[in-house]
Amino acid sequence: MANKFLVTIYHNPKCSTSRQVLAMIRTAGHAPDVIEYLKVGWTKKQLKELFAAAGLTPRQALRTKAAEAEELGLLDPKVSDAKLLDAMVAHPVLVERPFVVSAKGTLLARPKERVKEVL
């Protein structure tokens, strides 16, 4: 089936949720642009735009399960958004996954079924 519109997934192939969301996108007939953010990294501008489009704060997009979150003291609610963004740029694993961007919107696909909202 032809690509209905461009879908981008910020993907971690080691994450089962991310793999399942990627499969759901493909099953829906899309040929997504797959960005392995652990390999390519993030810029602060990119993260700000992604989180704003998804209606999330850096704190809400923080992968609290990542060991680095605790090691860097980022679980403290007093840590500023600026510090969180700096840490996410330095340690891409700190960004929760997967983010999906399409013509219908941007969201963090957790739970994975949320991806249907933008397909």
Q: Which candidate in 15, 28, 56, 118 is catalytic?
A: 15
Instruction: Confirm whether 15 is a catalytic residue.
Output: yes
3-class SS at 18?
helix
CA distance 72 to 79: 10
CA angle 55, 22, 30 (to 5 degrees): 90
Can you read off the two tokens belonging to residue 14? 């080691």
- Known catalytic residues? 15
